Structure 1
Amino acid sequence: MTSGLVRRPAALLIGIAALSCGSAYAQTIQEAEPTYDASVRVAKPLPATPLSGPVVPPFENPPAFVPDFFGVRAWLRAHGIALLVSNTNEFTGAVTRPTPGFRNYRQGASNAGQISTVLHMNWDKLIGLRGFATHAVFTSRYGTTANRMFGDWLGHASEIYGGGGNVVVHLVMAYGEENLFGGRLAIAGGRMTEMSDFSNSPLFCNFINNSLCGRPRAVSDNDYIGRYPAGVWGTRVRGRPSRYTYIQAAVYFPEKSMFANAYNRSGFKFSGGSAIMGQSIPIELGWEPEFGAKHKLAGHYKIGARLLTVPLSDNYYDINGLPLSVTRKKAMQHSRSWSAWFETDQKIWQPQGAPASSGTTLIGGFILNDPRVALRRWETYFGFINRGFIRSRPHDALNFIGMYEKIAGGVSATEANYLDEGAARLLPNHATGVQKNAAVFEVNYQIQVTRGVAIAPDYQIFFNPNGQKNLRTAHVLGFKSTVQIF
């Protein structure tokens, strides 16, 4: 990344902050994420007295940096149109030297970011089509991620990198959703991303590392799992049998090379059956209680699983059931594979008189994958989000997360065999040694600069980068900034 690209976002942020001095504080840093609204809809219980007929849930309305000139934005929302535009920027750099002996590794920094445009339309207000809404997400991405400089390809130091098509406009999602029985039943279909609805949380992008922000990385362990910014055809049904519970299931149709620029650079290639590789069928059950005398201690507990019918290669055996690292033949193919997850967050403290976003929330989860085809056999994470612990800064937050990934045994054994036979060039996953396990710890402090603007200085430490013990521990410093433009 050139020095000019690194300097411009930081300079832009400083300029915006200077122009906005004195504005009201409100927005939290993860609200600028383009899939925030979708994950909030999953994480929000029914109202105490829900309606009985079709009704579109209100769209998220984060405070924006640009004022509502002449009331245009308010008028559009009153008539069912919500347009959100935001910029997220992430700068990261390794402060430790990379492991010697690898000519492609170096000490350095990088910058990555995106401009996101989200368009929600309430067709009940527009033309009287009760309960129906459409959602479209577009993005423009730039930059890369610093962790590859020191040999890591597992826990990307910047969650925003690549995959966006490197074009001015990349279509991520465009789908319709019908909400029936006062929100008790929601049916959606169109171009969607699986990981916006399943195994997701609006809390994840309080962090930068891609092992969690967006979704836990292990739950999308291969490139046939639809995740931002790659949309595929899909349909999803979500029901809420009670105020604090939900169950949802879906069918998505993964497409060949859906993350490759050469295949679908703009996101507007609506391919037919020839590009569809199979189905991804997730199901998830959730409990979303609100504890405390005033119901301010919100919790979210979810358990889910996925059946994937895309052909995937075995990570150890060849087509004859022998070690592929010995025979060098094509890997055995599996037409069925699975993943499962349990995730939770629970607010344990809410300061009296503080905004609803303040307080301390614990967050944790565990993801398990099919050992035959997985790179990550399992992943676990645990941390906290502490917002408003400084009384005079109720919207600032101190956040910590620790993530641990266990590499599948077949991957480790295959790589060990290649190295024993002097065939290091055949190692998969960009490995330069045997992959076994990896851990990343991250801490940041979010500063609400002004209305719609936030910045979070960030520190990450990578143990066993790329899951390899032969790579030295890496320390990474950086920041994440968000500007909710309007």
Structure 2
Amino acid sequence: MSSAVRFSRTKLSIGLLLGLSCSTALPALAASESDLLSRSTLSGDWGGLRHQLDEDGIRFTGDYSGETAYNADGGLHRSARYSQNIKLGVQFDLSKIYGVDNAGKVQLTINDRRGNSASEDLVGNRLPIQENYGGLYTRLTELSYERSLFTPALNVKLGYMAMGNDLGGLDSGILCNFMNAGFCGHPLNMSGGSGWTNFPNARLGVRVKYDLSPSWQLRVAAFNVDPESNGNSSRAWHLGPKHTTGTVVPIELVYKHAGELPGEYKVGYYYDSSDVKRIGSDDEVSGRGGHYLLIDQAVWRSPTSEGRSLHAFGQYSAASEAASPFSKWYGTGVVLYKPFEGRPRDTLALGYGRAVPNPRSRDVQQDAALDNGAAFPNLDSAEQLIELGYGYQATPWLTLRPNLQYIIEPGAFSGQDIDNALVVGLQVKAAL
């Protein structure tokens, strides 16, 4: 397919989705241009209709993210790539709609992704430089029902959804002050070596949260594993699986404390019952699992400037070495909120990550190279990432995030000798 045709289809998709989000808002936009810079969403309140629907129990949401990355040095090629994600959703609060206590909520979300990958085309590394790249089609990403059960401490959610929306990430959102998917969201060896699914991949499942105390919470879930539907556009609107291989069950303990220096701590374990081939062997492994630890801790708070604080985060995740090509992930960094007095919603973020390939995968690559009479490059056995970014809150609904990423050993997972890469990026996020 020609680039012109692809570009035309991309423009059509953007137009359709933005039109769906904003069609009812055009009269409001025309009548109230003066509040464009102060409203909370791009399309505004739709002449009061949006607020009224929310009061009646129907809440519309939407957001856009666009990520442009230019490879300035090293890697494979000097060029730029752009990717985008548009998400539209509606939530039905059944208690408000029907006037019944604790009737629950229904969430419907669709998602559309387009663009090209800087990692695949320009650098050759494993950790996606653009966190919104992948699954380039329109799909259903959630159709779920959620409510409290028996007691307010017990919350149950079931349906078609991405398990990573509720487990495996920090609830504070600190990690999405970065553009690289190695930071933003979840440790990637969870989904790289099991049936774990992160947004926008969704599966049938159930998630349970139980508040043990005001500070402690237990989360448990069970989700269908269906590898043949991953990235398969023909399955974009199919809730049922194409070929079930097993069930993935995560369990997560969460601790949150408030106060002068708040923090969030998560420890989790997951197990996928699927039978998969052992790396470097024709034998099968019955089941695969992993564990993780996530931390977000405020380490400093300004005594004179409200909202100014410094948070440190940490990530550790390990997956089964028998079947996962991505065995370990380490991440750490800091985020400064309100870096300048006149910029209360801006952020300054610096992070470092290390992704370790499975030694079994490295052995397979080395053996293949020797069989072909080729020399295998001397690599440091891990892809490393350093990212520096500034989140500029241009309006309440628009965030601009220029960033620099330095990729060390980009060929660690592919077994190629690729020069370290310096990538200049810009992330644009808008609440629709």
Q: Please give the TM-score of this superposition, normalised by the length of structure 2.
A: 0.87
Q: Aligned to 1:311, what secondary structure does the other structure show?
A: strand
CA displacement 1:361-391 (0-9 Å, x = unmatched): 1111100111111111110100111110211
Residue number in structure 2 paired with 1:322: none
Secondary structure of 1:291 counterpart: coil
Percent of aligned pairs with the same amino acid: 18
1:346 aligns to 2:297 (yes or no)? yes
Report how many residues are paired. Answer: 406
Give distance in 2, aligned partners of 1:20 and 1:372.
60
Q: Do residues 405 (structure 1) and 355 (structure 2) align? A: yes
Give the match for residue 286 of structure 1.
Answer: 254
Asked if 1:440 is matched to 2:385, the reply is yes
What residue identity is the alignment partner of 1:333? E
Mapped pair 1:270 → 2:239: yes
Of 67, 80, 88, the match for 1:117: 88
Which amino acid is 1:241 matched to?
L
1:182 shift after superposition = 6.4
Q: Residue 238 of structure 1 corresponds to which residue in structure 2?
A: 209
Deviation of 1:134 after TM superposition, in Å, equals: 1.3
For 2:176 and 2:215, locate their aligned partners in 1 and report how far apart those are by CA, in whole Å.
24
State the partner residue of 1:332: 283
Look up the SS of the partner of 2:143 in the other structure.
Answer: strand
Give the TM-score normalised by the residue count of structure 1.
Answer: 0.77
1:191 matched residue in structure 2: 160
| Alpha-carbon distance change, 187 to 116 in structure 1, aligned in 2, over 3 angstroms | same
Q: How is 1:22-171 mapped onto 2 (pairs within 5 angstroms)?
A: 23-24=37-38, 63-98=40-75, 105-131=76-102, 132-164=104-136, 166-167=137-138, 170-171=139-140
Counterpart secondary structure, 1:212: coil
Q: After superposition, where does 1:415-430 map in structure 2 within 5 Å? A: 415-422=365-372
- Partner residue of 2:181? 210
Contact 2:399 2:428 in 1 (8 A): yes
**Cα distance between partner residues in 2 of 1:369 and 1:424:** 30
Alpha-carbon shift at residue 78 of structure 1 (Å): 1.2
CA gap of 1:466–1:177, structure 2 versus 1, over 3 A, is farther
Q: What CA distance in whole angstroms lies between the structure 2 residues aligned with 1:435 and 1:250? A: 37
Distance 1:337 1:95 in 2: 39
The question of 1:475 aligning with 2:422 is answered yes
Letter in 2 for 1:72: L
Change (3 A) 1:112 1:470: same
Cα distance 1:350–1:96, how it changes in 2: closer, same or farther (>3 A)? Answer: same
Q: d(CA) in 2 for partners of 1:308 and 1:354?
A: 47
Instruction: Report if the CA contact (8 A) 1:247-1:283 is conserved.
Output: yes
On the 8 A contact 2:407/2:422 being kept in 1, the answer is yes
Q: Aligned-pair distance for 1:73? A: 1.8
Displacement after TM superposition at 1:212 (Å): 2.0
2-structure distance, mates of 1:333, 1:433? 30
- Bigger RCO (CA 8 Å, 6+ sep): 1
**How do 1:222-237 and structure 2 match up within 5 A?**
222=193, 224-237=195-208
User: What's the offset of the Cα at 1:215?
Assistant: 1.4
SS in 2 for 1:420: helix
8 Å CA contact retained: 1:403, 1:439: yes
- Give the root-mean-square deviation of aligned CA atoms: 2.9
- Which amino acid is 2:361 matched to? V
Q: Which of 269, 274, 281 matches 1:310?
A: 274
Q: If each structure's strand is expressed as a fraction of its own residues, which one has the higher value? A: 2
C-alpha distance in 2 between matches for 1:180 and 1:339:
29
Q: Evaluate the alpha carbon distance shift between residue 20 and residue 469 of structure 1 in structure 2; reply closer, same or farther with a 3 A threshold.
A: farther
Secondary structure at the residue paired with 2:176? helix
Change (3 A) 1:309 1:361: same
Q: Deviations over 1:85-114 (max 9, x none)?
A: 11110000100143xxxxxx4221100001
Q: Alignment partner of 2:283: what SS?
A: strand
Which sections of structure 1, spanning at least 5 residues, go unmatched? 26-62, 99-104, 319-330
- Following superposition, the deviation at residue 423 of structure 1 comes to 6.6
Distance 2:389 2:123 in 1: 23
Among 435, 438, 451, which residue is 2:396 paired with?
Answer: 451
Q: Is the 8 A contact 1:154 1:211 kept in 2?
A: no
Deviation of residue 308 (structure 1)?
0.5
Q: Is the 8 A contact 2:106 2:145 kept in 1?
A: yes
Q: Deviating runs (4+, > 4 A) in structure 1?
A: 1-5, 19-22, 352-356, 432-435
Indicate conservation of the 8 Å contact 2:249/2:271, yes or no: yes
